[in-house]
Every structure is written in structure tokens, then in C-alpha cells.
Structure 1
């Protein structure tokens, strides 16, 4: 949902409007802006709610966003944020350390981490997730440890992939009945990431608690890999294949059937999308892991009551 587009405002009101919106949505903060090539200031801010988690997208001319000790003391919010840069090159500074950030990486910030800064130069687009620290249910010292180790975490790519998936279809997903569950997945993955940096009993307990969620996120992040098999999934999560199937059955999931369903849904969306109009149906099927066109057509018809070609030829197909 679009919260603010500064192009809709008189030029002399834009900076103050963005500052007010940023403070209202994310807490006490400082913001400084670059001017774009036309000596203007442009920002668009959108947000979507997924249960305990809010997803934010900020885009426009270069900026710096920071929280000082004064901001943190003044602000009654105790939140944890997960940040990544969708377009352009971002920077994250914390505890005297600076990191370059692109769409392939993420950073964590919270009151527990102390003062921090986020920035980009030129035209850019960033994505952030925010949730209450109390909902995370882990001690501040553990969160602080995780901030420094996030770039090296094996769980960070799963969380990042889930962020990108939410953003790619946010308008639809945020109003679906399963929106809260998608936010719960973010929460579970973040708990696993933070606990994995801590070691000791907490790491083991949270790893066990979130194993099924991590498996689901891993599958969603690798759906287009033709070699996404039970053997590979089990090996990636230190399980035997029989233990993997047992875990899925305990949670009411038929793994292979679920993977096929997700792939068919992905292919159906691509077949309806104008940006994929130049691709053949077989190419789209192969992209989603279906090497046999006849098998894909049968599965598509069984799932959706029509063939891929008929779906694509419909006047206004909607996935």
C-alpha cells in the first residue's frame, strides 16, 4: 500500500512530509536527502502488513537514515528491522563498522544494536521488515551478537529469499487469508538466524523449533531448480530422507505434492504475465522444473481445470 509519493506534494513540503511519515512508521530518526539530477527530491514509501511483521519499501533519490542514542532513548518503540537494498548500492554502519549492501545481502538493526545508519547515493530502492522485539522473544545480547555475524549466516539467504518473495507479490499476499502465516515465517527465520549466532542450548532449541519453517523457506527459494529433490532438501538440513518425510507428515504436508503445486502456481502466473509473453509455454514449464511437457500439461489441467495454452489464450488471464 502506498503511504507517500512526494511528487504529489508541493516541492517545499516534500522533505517535511517524508520526515513525518518516516517517524510515524519507524520511530524517532534522523533523515538527510540528496537531490536528484533535476535538483529535486523524490521519495515513494509503501508498506504492507503480514501478521506481526510490516514490510516497507522506500525508493527515490539518495538518502541517509539514522538512529542516534538520543533517538533510541526518546523512542518508546523496541523494534527489530531487517534491511536490504533492491536497487543501487546501499551502506549500513553500526558499532564503528561499515558494510556495503546490495540485493544479495541483508542487515539487522534494533535498539539492542545501538546507534546505526542506513544510506544510499543516487536513485535507489530499499526493502525493510520491522517487528516488535518482544515478539521475537530473544534477549538483546543475542540480537547484538547476530548483527555482526549476519553476513556469514547460513540462514540469511533463506530470510532474504522470503523477503523478496513477499515483496514480489505484496499487494495480493497482504490481503490473502494466509498473510499472518507469511509474517510468522519471517519471525521463525529471524529467530533461527539470531539464535544460530549465539551457540549453546539456545541455538539448538531454536534450530529444532524452526526446522520445518526453514525447510519450507528453502523450498520456496529454490523452486525453479530442477534438482530440488527430497535427497537435496534433507541433506541441506542435516536430516535423513525418512526423517524429512516424517517431519513433513507430522505437520500435515505431502512434500512432493506441495512442491508440484507451488511450481504449477508459479508457471500459471508467468503464463498470464505480459512480461513473459515472448516465452514459449515449454520454456516457462522448464523454468519451473517441468522437463516433460506432457506431464506439465496434465498436472496443470488437473490443478486448474484448463490447459496451459487455453489459460494463456484467455482474454484476460489472471493468476
Structure 2
């Protein structure tokens, strides 16, 4: 995965606003940007290049961004932009339609039409959001129907919107754990989730390719597993029943994932335990308590699973993480290389 992290604080104060305008024009879409904070523009930009999609995580002060008719005529990369607001408020005006979005809302717009957008923080600090760039040609739905959604707020707290939002929110913070080959799969999954989300809101589910619907189902299953890792009873049978599919079909969905359902549940639990063991704020909690937080009822079972995954007992890992670090880092890198070999 190609990840770029840029911060205005790394630049001289006088250069920060010009840098932001240039950088967003190159990575998103060329626009005219103005801001009351241009004298000392404090912003952060994180870009994940997933091949089929680009995901940008942004933090910035209040500003206005205009995609003028002249800019559209000069250059149109023919992109859809799907924005998720994490903090603050945003408004957009396009084709004589005005819309406002707040925290948790999704907004679809594109590079092919003029627009006038403004963003304001609620508490005077910063606006935060995620923007996904996807080529218009990558969305296999009737363009005329998708375009009807442009500039209209879409719910991100229920149904397909919640699934898509949760996926995007989790995508960036965990990028350090991804391997280069993960980028292609994650890019395809991002496009599939957006396709399923737009198909739902345009009543064109039947137009979406079967693989997109399958990937959306798989993403929902992953989200369900994440939300229920603390349940000791979590199993392939529980996962299948919760999604109204057979266990056999569930295993079929995971055939292309390089791990089984049980292996994925175990891996995610162990990763949660590993993070807790290395957390200084949890250093006073017994190891058995941390294991129970992630669905392990028996301490001996957890110890065996942890040693198998990371090469050392949990107590040794915790000591290294809190007092050393280098040995722990080497063990962690080695465990990541062997993740695909974990049996179900």
C-alpha cells in the first residue's frame, strides 16, 4: 500500500496555505480554495492509494472550495467523490441545489460539474473527514441514476451507509498492519461497498454485479465479527445464522480470503489482546482480564494461542512491549509474515 502523510506544521507558516491548495488540487480535484486562516493554515492530509480507489483523511480549518465551470472545462478526471464527515459541518451548492451535512453524513459529488462548498468546525478547532476518489467508470450502475444522488446528503448511520462508514473509519488507522498485496484487495472492496451503497439508494441492486453484492455481504460479516469478538460464543455457526446464510456458504465466501472464518476470529482477538498488552494504561490489569475482554474464557487456551501466534507467552510479550520494544517489534513482523499460514 502506498501511504502519504503530510502536515502543514512541517512547512514554514507562509507556505502552508499554498501547499494545501496545490496538494488538494493534485490529489482530489482542482478547485479554488479560500480561507480566513490562510495566514497560518494548520492542516493534515493522509492519502491511501488502493489502486482502484484513493482514500484521503483530512483535517483542516474553515474554508471555501469552488469547482468553477472554467476548471471543469480545463480538466475533468471524471471522478466520483464520496465524503464522510467526521467532525464539523459542510455545505455544498451545485446545479442550483443546496445541501448541508453533519457528522456521520455521506455526500456524493463529482469532478464533472461545478460546485461551491464550505466547511466549518463546530468547536472552532478543525473539520475532519474522509474522501474517497473513484473513477466514474468503476461504478457499474446506470450513471443517470447515480447522478441523481449528487449533492444530496445520504445517511451514514444505518444499513449500507453504516457498513460503508465503519469500513472507511477503520481503514486508515490500521494501515500500518497492511501488506502491499492488501492494497489491491482493499481497493476492490472499497469500490464494491460504494457500488452496493449507491445501488441501494438508486434502487438498482439488480444492476450491481454479483461480485459486488458478495463483497458487500462479506464486509458486513467482517463488521459483525469485529463487533462481537468479546462474545465467547462467537463461531462460524453464529455468524452464518446472523446473516441468514448457511455455514457452508459462509466458508465459501471466505475461500478467497486466505484464511478461514475461525482463523480470522482468532487472529482479530489475538490482535486486540496484543494491543492491550502493549498499552501502558492497561498495565495494571491482569492478563486474564485482558484475555476475557476479547472472548477468551480459559487463560490456558489464550496463552497457547498467543504463544503460537507471536512466539512468546503473553507475560513475556507484555514485558518486552512496556520495557523494551525492539524484540517485540521483530516478533510482530515475523508473526505478520506467517498470518496466511494460520490454519482454521
Give 1:120-269 correspondences, 5 Å limit: 120-121=120-121, 122-124=124-126, 125-147=128-150, 148=152, 150-151=154-155, 154-173=159-178, 176-199=180-203, 202-204=204-206, 206=208, 208-222=210-224, 223-225=226-228, 226-227=230-231, 228-230=234-236, 233-235=239-241, 237-249=243-255, 253-269=259-275
Q: Which sections of structure 2, spanning at least 5 residues, go unmatched?
A: 333-344
TM-score (norm 2): 0.77
Deviation, structure 1 residue 84? 2.0
- The match for 1:296 is 302
More divergent stretch after superposition (48-57 vs 241-250): 241-250
1:42-92 Cα shifts (integer Å, max 9, x gaps): 122221212222221222322233434443333221112222233x32324
Q: What SS is found at the alignment partner of 1:80?
A: strand
- Written as runs of structure 1 = structure 2, the 5 A alignment for 1:3-18 is 4-18=6-20
**SS of 2:129's equivalent?**
strand
SS of equivalent residue, structure 1 residue 117: strand
Q: Per-residue deviation at 1:186?
A: 0.6
Q: Return the offset for 1:11.
A: 3.2
Describe the superposition over 1:94-134 as per-residue Cα deviations: whole angstroms up to 9, x where unpaired: 553423322x3432222467635251323222222212222
Give the length in aligned residue pairs: 312
Aligned to 1:71: 71
Aligned to 1:50: 50
Alignment map for 1:86-105 (pairs within 5 Å):
86=86, 88-94=87-93, 96-102=97-103, 104-105=104-105
User: Contact 1:271–1:277 (CA<8 Å) still a contact in 2?
Assistant: yes
**SS at 1:239 equivalent:** coil
CA–CA distance in structure 1, aligned partners of residues 221 and 180 of structure 2: 21
Deviation at 1:250, TM superposition (A): 7.4
* Preserved contact between residue 23 and residue 29 of structure 1 (Cα < 8 Å): yes
The CA RMSD over aligned residues, in Å, is 3.1
Native 8 Å contact 1:31 1:63 kept in 2 = yes
Task: Give the match's secondary structure for 2:245.
Answer: coil
Deviations 1:174-228 (A, max 9, x none): x5331221111111111111122232xx413527323442243224334142345
